[in-house]
């Protein structure tokens, strides 16, 4: 069995290089059993019942092709994408994880999380709860989506500039401490959020932080029970060994 894990693309415009590279990468995936998206794939996403943000149609169409070909899709909500909505649940038949979850895959127990809740402060927890509240669900039905999009991108710009954790620092100490305190009953832990790719071993637990799909174009591949960090080639017509051709 073969699965891919990636996170933190922070997609905005289809013409952006990281957006184009992600489309090319996903288009090359053949015989892919599962795709795990671990949050902040979008720069801003809030799901609606009957519409999606137009900037994300190319990616959504690529995800639809994969799921129709038999790929199981999982999405862990991040701090930029949440309340995924009907398109993910009904059209893509995606398993949406709001915080973290242990799943069984390929004879492995895998803890999936975005990573923003590994060391959150109180103010962040309050903000996170607010964005997922009934009030936001109600406002999303009243306020025009164009205004919601503009406000979401503005807030994203502001939070990125002011977030002291958005520094690409090595998250190894934080991840080791989390594994020690939580002692999760699993074989593998995979997260995003930190924009710094890391592979660690904590006793029996293998920990992988995915890095980002902005500058590093890193991801993890799990095949036949072995998970490894990989880097997507950025040159035109370059194909990685994991493209499943």
Span 159-180, pLDDT tens digits: 654 444 444 689 999 999 998 8
What average pLDDT does the segment 42-61 reach?
93
**pTM, full prediction:** 0.89
pLDDT on residue 165: 45
Grouping H, G, I as helix, E, B as strand and the rest as coil, residue 82 is: strand
pLDDT above 70 coverage of the chain, percent:
91
Q: Where would I find the beta strands (DSSP E) of the chain?
A: 2-6, 34-37, 45-46, 72-76, 81-82, 95-97, 100-105, 108-113, 188-191, 197-202, 205-210, 218-223, 226-231
What average pLDDT does the segment 123-127 reach?
77
pLDDT on residue 240: 41
pLDDT at 66 over 70: yes
Cα dihedral sign, 131-188-226-212: positive
pLDDT at 42 over 60: yes
Contact 187, 206 (CB under 8 A): yes
What are the sequence ranges of the domains in the chain?
2-243
What average pLDDT does the segment 150-166 reach?
66
Considering only 18-27, 100-109, 177-186, which range has the smallest mean pLDDT?
177-186
CA contacts within 13 A on the Cβ side of 225: 2
pLDDT at 231 over 60: yes
What is the distance between the alpha carbons of residues 82 and 53, in angstroms, rounded to a whole number?
A: 13
Superfamily grouping for domain 2-243: Metallo-dependent phosphatases (3.60.21.10)
pLDDT on residue 82: 87
Q: Which residue has the higher pLDDT, 145 or 214?
A: 214
Considering only 92-96, 144-148, 177-181, 234-238, which range has the smallest mean pLDDT?
234-238
- Give 150's pLDDT tier (boundaries 50, 70, 90): confident
Interior CA angle at 107 toward 213 and 38, to 5°?
20
pLDDT at 200 over 80: yes
Q: Which residue has the higher pLDDT, 19 or 240?
A: 19
pLDDT at 123 over 90: no
Contact 8, 196 (CB under 8 A): no
Contact 197, 220 (CB under 8 A): no
- 68-96 pLDDT tens trace: 999 999 999 998 998 898 999 999 999 99
pLDDT on residue 235: 65
Compute and round to an integer the Cα radius of gyration of the chain.
Answer: 17
pLDDT on residue 237: 53
């Amino acid at each position: 069995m073969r699965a891919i894990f990636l996170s933190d693309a922070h997609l905005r415009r289809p013409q952006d290089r990281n957006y184009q590279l992600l489309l090319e990468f996903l288009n090359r995936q053949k015989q892919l059993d599962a795709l795990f998206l671990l949050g902040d794939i979008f720069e801003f996403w809030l799901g609606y019942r009957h519409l999606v943000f137009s900037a994300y149609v190319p990616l959504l169409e690529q995800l639809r092709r994969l799921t129709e070909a038999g790929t199981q899709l999982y999405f862990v909500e991040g701090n930029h994408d949440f309340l995924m909505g009907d398109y993910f649940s009904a059209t893509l038949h995606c398993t949406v994880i709001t915080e973290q979850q242990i799943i069984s895959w390929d004879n492995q127990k895998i803890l999936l999380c975005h990573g923003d809740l590994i060391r959150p402060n109180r103010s962040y927890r309050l903000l996170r709860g607010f964005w997922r509240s009934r009030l936001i669900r109600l406002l999303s039905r009243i306020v025009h989506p164009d205004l919601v999009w503009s406000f979401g991108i503005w807030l994203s710009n502001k939070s990125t500039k002011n977030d002291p954790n958005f520094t690409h620092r090595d998250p190894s100490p934080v991840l080791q401490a989390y594994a020690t305190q939580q002692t999760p009953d699993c074989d593998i832990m995979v997260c995003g959020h930190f924009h710094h790719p890391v592979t660690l071993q904590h006793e029996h637990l293998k920990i992988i932080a995915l890095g980002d799909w902005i500058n590093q174009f890193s991801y993890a591949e799990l095949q036949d029970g072995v998970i490894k960090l990989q880097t997507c080639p950025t040159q035109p017509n370059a194909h990685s060994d994991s493209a499943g051709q």
